[in-house]
Amino acid sequence: MQSSVIWVRQDLSVDIDALTRLILANQRDNGEIPWCEGQKTDPWDHVESAIGLTIGGHYEAARRAYEWMRREQLDDGSWYAAYQDGRPEDRTRDANLSTYIAVGVYHYYLVTGDTAFAADMWPTVRKAMDFALALQMPEGPIRWAVSPEGRADTMALLTGSSSVYMSLKCALQLATLLGQDQPHWTPALQRLQTALRHKRHLFNMTKSRFSMDWFYPILSGALTGEDARKRIDKYWKKFVVEGQGVRCVYDEPWVTVAETCEFILALVAMGNEEQARIVFSWISSKRFDDDTYWCGFTFPDMVIWPEDKITWTNAVVLMALDALYHLTPASQMFNHASWDEPVSD
């Protein structure tokens, strides 16, 4: 990366160092990265922040974040859903939260080429994936979690299973890289893909008010090509506020920077980079005086809410910038054309 300043419009630039400074300022000595000072840490957003640090070139800090994950992993391969001040706050063991480590470690490898670190993290990744796949239904979806009492939930979530799909793809790439054959993973990926494409009735649709349910099947690469385009077009007006960004949920006047940036990643993934740049231009100025980004804002009154400076929000801004401006060797990681599509069963 040649410069920390990226010009997103003729009159507007983004300072990458400002975004990574926020993440670094919140990272604790043990490597843990909470949402912000005084708030929780969850495994998924912790990894997202580590990805942001990697994009910003802070490799040692990113490694410390992954090493925190390795130390905190439970015997069954999972993590608790939330930690507060170093102690478990929510003892739910969520499949999606527990598998995102594969995306982070593979991303770190793509940027740095550090095979040794990938090998060090491999046992952690393998155990995480096997935890989630033990929750896979015969038809393909992933049950979303195990309760604090040890009961596997019967419900599968479309967003969560889509995220697991991306994690499993990355885990398979790591397995190939490291010569660690996992013959049961590919059929599991195929069943999951089939469910995400053709068996939506198997997922809990009460979450369909969330924009992530709209675009995560595309972001993960489960939906590609014409199917992806049709899904984007079908729900565009439901979730997109022209000139502002993407709603978190369709029935609330609240645009969130993270969902908007993830949607940008989905657009780039399917090859629509021009539209992705337009959407990024809408939120590119939604930031504080220190150049870090808001979590979200209401419209039309434009009230910043919440006012916290969130680590993972700024991390996904970095991911969107990387996808659009090719800052690192991992900039194409979500692009559908970069992946060999599994053969559906």
3-state helix, strand, coil in the chain (%, to 5): 55, 10, 35
- Look at the alpha carbons of 56, 61, 66, 69 in this order and tell me if their dihedral is positive or negative: negative
Please report the pLDDT score of residue 8 as a whole number.
84
Strands (DSSP E) contained in the chain are: 5-9, 12-15, 82-84, 87-90, 93-94, 145-146, 240-241, 245-246, 254-256, 296-298
| Nearest Cα to Cα of residue 114 among 59, 67, 69 | 59
Per-residue pLDDT tens listing for the chain (345 residues) = 556 888 887 778 899 999 999 999 999 999 999 999 999 999 999 999 999 999 999 999 999 999 999 999 999 999 999 999 989 999 999 999 999 999 999 999 999 999 999 999 999 999 999 999 999 999 999 999 999 999 999 999 999 999 999 999 999 999 999 999 999 999 999 999 999 999 999 999 888 999 999 999 999 999 999 999 999 999 999 999 999 999 999 999 999 999 999 999 999 999 999 999 999 999 999 999 999 999 999 999 999 999 999 999 999 999 999 999 999 999 999 999 999 877 654
Single pTM value for the model: 0.97
Residue 142's beta-bridge partner residues? 136
Please report the pLDDT score of residue 205 as a whole number.
87
Query: Cβ-count burial of 88 within 10 angstroms (0-12 exposed, 13-18 middle, 19+ buried)?
Result: middle
Please report the domains of the chain, with CATH numbers, ordered by start residue.
Answer: 5-338 (1.50.10.10)
| Rounded distance between C-alpha atoms, residue 25 and residue 38, angstroms | 13
Which amino acid belongs to residue 24?
A: L
CB 158 within 8 Å of CB 196: yes
| Rounded distance between C-alpha atoms, residue 221 and residue 215, angstroms | 10
List the structure tokens of 300. Answer: 């039309």
| Rounded distance between C-alpha atoms, residue 284 and residue 226, angstroms | 29
